[in-house]
Structure 1
């Protein structure tokens, strides 16, 4: 393709070759043109001022074009289950997710609890939550690119954290 383009450009430039005229106007400014003007002189181009191109033989290989398709990630929270009650007085529990297909390079996972990021982006599919207060919470896992753009998100999962209290 490149060779054909270069040859076409060379053919066009050869066919467009014209005589060059030079003249000086009344203000002493030098002008060049391909149209003759009164008092214009023909500029003779020397052989050593012309560009010569020697083309190397190139081998063209047929390569199938690779289309970069957007990878559709599917994130599913495996554990805890939807509307599960977790019993832990210290508010510690793990969240496990599955991702299909495999997480691409440069993409990380972030865990959000009630809309706030609780675990910084990581590539691991197991998140350890610590110190979560009792009550109802919504957890979501999002796949983020290096710029923080959300590429995919799990469905929200509602859980209940129960912390036993000693009544007096």
Structure 2
């Protein structure tokens, strides 16, 4: 019973508009209020004066085009193979890389040898290294945007570089 009475009061209060009073002050300025003043007169509100608005929601857009950060890039070192032994007295090495999907505009690849950038960033998937010292090395290729954000990295690739002698002609030139 109380719920019915409460609902009925809510419906009646929502359907009855509040009275609006209008008055002019001593400076000739017009004021409106919901509280009566000494020289105020009630204003009759027509249905045409009440504001109503409808909200039109735009149709749902189809899937938005993915930005570079939303695309999952994959960088893979194709060669040399994992734990490959490379025999080169001059310390020359070629690294081949694959990027999937296609390299985005403005992005470049950097090759890190033992955590240090070995060559200038480039778009070509073939890196030519020279003067690498013998021993174990870890290779990683990063796909980097123009502002330096890394989009993807390859898995580290461990290789071994063997040289016949530390005293090879190429190494003597470095000393």
CA offsets 1:89-137 (integer angstroms, 9 cap, x no match): 1100100011111111111100000000001111110000011000000
CA RMSD across the alignment? 3.4
| Cα distance in 2, alignment partners of residues 164 and 119 from structure 1 | 25
| Cα distance in 2, alignment partners of residues 131 and 63 from structure 1 | 58
Aligned residues: 130
Cross-structure match for 1:136: 136
Cross-structure match for 2:7: none
Cross-structure match for 1:162: 162
| Cα distance in 2, alignment partners of residues 126 and 63 from structure 1 | 44
CA offsets 1:53-104 (integer angstroms, 9 cap, x no match): xxxxxxxxx9954513211111110100000000001100100011111111
| Cα distance in 2, alignment partners of residues 68 and 111 from structure 1 | 30
State yes or no: 1:68 paired with 2:62. no
Q: Specify every segment of 5 or more residues in structure 1 that has no aligned partner in the other structure, as ranges.
A: 1-61
Q: Specify every segment of 5 or more residues in structure 2 that has no aligned partner in the other structure, as ranges.
A: 1-58, 168-175
Runs (4+) off by over 2 Å:
62-66
Cross-structure match for 2:150: 150
Structure with more strand by fraction: 1
Residue aligned with 2:121, SS: strand
TM-score w.r.t. the length of structure 1 is 0.61
| Cα distance in 2, alignment partners of residues 151 and 137 from structure 1 | 23
Cross-structure match for 1:83: 83
